[in-house]
Amino acid sequence: MDLDLQSCARLLQTITSNVVIKQGKQLHLLFLKRGVLPSSITLANRLLQMYARCGDLFDARKLFDEMPRRNCFTWNSMIEGYVKSGNKEEALHLFYSMPNKNSFTWNMIISGFVKASKLNVARKLFDEMPMKNGVAWNSMIHGYAENGHSVEALRLFKDLKSGCYGPCHVDIYVLATVFGACTDLLALQLGKTIHACIVVGGVKFDPVLGSSIVNMYGKCGDLDSASLVLRSLPYPDDFSLSSLISAYSNNGRVADAKRIFCIKNDPCVALWNSLISGYIVNDMAMEALILFGEMRRNGTKEDASTIAIILSACDCLGFLEYGTQVHAHTCKFGVTRDLVVASVLVDTYAKCGRPDSACELFPELNTYDTILLNSMINVYCTCGRIEDAIQVFQSIPSKSLISWNSMISGLSKNGYPTEALACFGELNTKGFHMDRFSLASVISTCATISSLELGKQLYARAIVIGLESDKVVSTALVDFYCKCGLIDDGRKLFDEMIQSDEASWNSMLMGYATNGYGIEALHLFNDMIKVGVMPTDITFTAVLSACNHCGLVEEGLKWFNAMKHKYSIDPGIEHYSCMIDLFARVGQLEEAIDFLIYMPFEADASMWSTILRGCLANGDTILGKKVAEKITMIDPKNPDAYVQLSSIFATSGDWGRSAQVRKLMIAKRMQKVPGTSWIDR
């Protein structure tokens, strides 16, 4: 029976996967038996192409090496197989071995290396290409733009337009890519020049080119030109409309954004997302939630981006209950599998004061990236779950500098300064370029253990890399010097700061207050008010501590009341503690007890102990006995209350009851906790 070679060749072309490659191999066996392969290069090429398409490169190469005759199709099929399989080295070796390369060969090898992000190799091949065509130009320009090398993309486009490489037609896809590169660089004038050239050249706009020009003008802030281009398009597509809505929103022109949105009678979900996001950008989160309700009533089904945007609105408003409802909705529709939604959910719970809920959510997630894992390190550290934070940190395959910074900061804040310094030491060996947050975190760690020598070395490092004037680093250094007791050095550094914010002022204020420089702290606070820096709750903690050290009751009461009535800051338990300690120190014990009883927090044993110390200092044994008994009721295992109660009895001459308390401590196996410093640990 005669073999129909044409039918066999057509059959081979239909075999494109491993599922049916067995049929192709049977045909190959038949060809070998009939001895037709040496005489039919077309049939051998089709067989080679089949093996390459199915990913069977071993058999493809074996056939390639056995072929007595080869043409361009033979070489191209083999090279293409290597390119698509990821074996770029073998593809390049075969390419340079190919005797007569055609334009398809050059285009294929260049685009293959561009898609693999091997731009240096691709550019070398492009430069070697004898006759460059539109496909090669497009591949290189698009490759540079897609990989963040917008300047190189524009430079190559300039070479293309100059004609120094010979005439070449510029298609609309190259132009769209070039406008995208202008957008990335915010190169408005260059974009306008290219736009003018294509208008003069009579280039017809298609939706892709038109939307890329609208996007370029919008992102560069030329909203009038963007609107003009949009109106010139016969049928504006959703991308163009979405770009202009976002541009108007980002420039605070929400009404214009709404006007563009209303152009479409039945807007798609992308347009709804753009407008809702625009409201949030302009601090109109409540309006964003109302618009989301309108979208659902309109019958438009939300996507993962919508959910992420709405969760960010809940985050802005602190609407945790609404955010929880959205979370339930995402679970119902399986959107929690989306990486962006998962990240925003974790962030929402963390920022709304429910980090424990974020911790519960994390094990349920199916997908992670470095950004999400970095967030979880911060969340776990906030909850004090340092071992979980370390486990997440170690699980990150490609740790970013933010990963290291988060871990160092978390260890330091949770009382692991030695481990934080060890982590910083390991970071130094990884070749990262340290930023201000790395330095600030480790300087703060040195402050917690009063490691003056290491702190000074880090200050020198900051000078070497040019960060000594950075606000974040300088604030950490001020805090470091103050915690090491070097108040004058801290103040000198504070005065040299080019720009100070509330964090810098707070660091210096706390430094004065904790080192007993109450008057200096109050003078600095007055300077802070004069220059217009708004105080925070931390500021008032420092101010009340300063009043406490100086015994300034009236001054302390004045600023305590000003917190809420003048600065709209609700006093926290630390502010009440300062006031109770202030009253107790100056002997106003009744006022101290009133403050403690009527404060909106539950008093713990330490706050009652403050009053007890005041009783001892002022010789009020009667009240001291009552307070000591109260402490033993709140915390029966607290030895300090028993020790001070014994001292009260001894001071009043009641030695028998003093000894009785001591015996009770022995019976309960309670011992006074000796004082220690970090050196002893």
Q: Does 233 have pLDDT greater than 70?
A: yes
Q: Are 285 and 323 in contact (CB under 8 A)?
A: no
Between the alpha carbon of residue 355 and those of residues 347, 365, 373, the distances in Å are: 9, 16, 14
Query: What is the rounded CA–CA span in Å between residue 513 and residue 526?
Result: 14
- pLDDT one-digit tens code per residue, 558-591: 999 999 899 999 999 999 999 998 998 888 988 8
For residue range 447-486, what is the model confidence (pLDDT) as tens digits? 888 888 898 998 898 888 888 888 889 999 999 999 999 9
String of DSSP letters for 289-328:
HHHHHHHHHTTPPP-HHHHHHHHHHHHHHT-HHHHHHHHH
In this prediction, residue 15 carries a pLDDT of 75
Residue type for position 616: L
Residues 523-547 have a mean pLDDT of 92
Find the mean pLDDT for residues 298-311. Answer: 88
Give the side-chain half-sphere CA count within 13 A for 678: 12
465 contacts 457 by C-beta, under 8 angstroms: no
pLDDT at 65: 87
CA-to-CA dists, residue 459 to 110, 507, 662, angstroms? 49, 17, 51
In the three-class reduction of DSSP (H, G, I as helix; E, B as strand; rest coil), residue 486 is classed as coil
Average pLDDT over residues 238-247: 90
Structure tokens given for 501? 């914010």
Average pLDDT over residues 492-514: 88
Least confident of 178-187, 322-331, 571-580: 322-331
pLDDT over 50 (residue 430): yes
Does residue 106 carry a pLDDT above 90?
yes
pLDDT (0 to 100) of residue 676: 52
* pLDDT of 446 over the 60 cut: yes
Residue 669 has pLDDT above 80, yes or no: no
Q: What is the mean pLDDT of the chain?
A: 85
pLDDT-derived band at 681 (thresholds 50, 70, 90) equals very low
Average pLDDT over residues 481-499: 89
pLDDT at 553 over 80: yes
Domain ranges of the chain: 562-667
pLDDT at 167 over 60: no
Claim: this prediction has a pTM higher than 0.75: no
For the stretch 84-97, what's the b/e string if a residue is b when 16 or more beta carbons lie within 10 angstroms of its beta carbon?
beeebebbbebbee
At the top level of CATH, the class of 562-667 is: mainly alpha
Pick the most confident of 494-508, 523-537, 597-611. Answer: 523-537
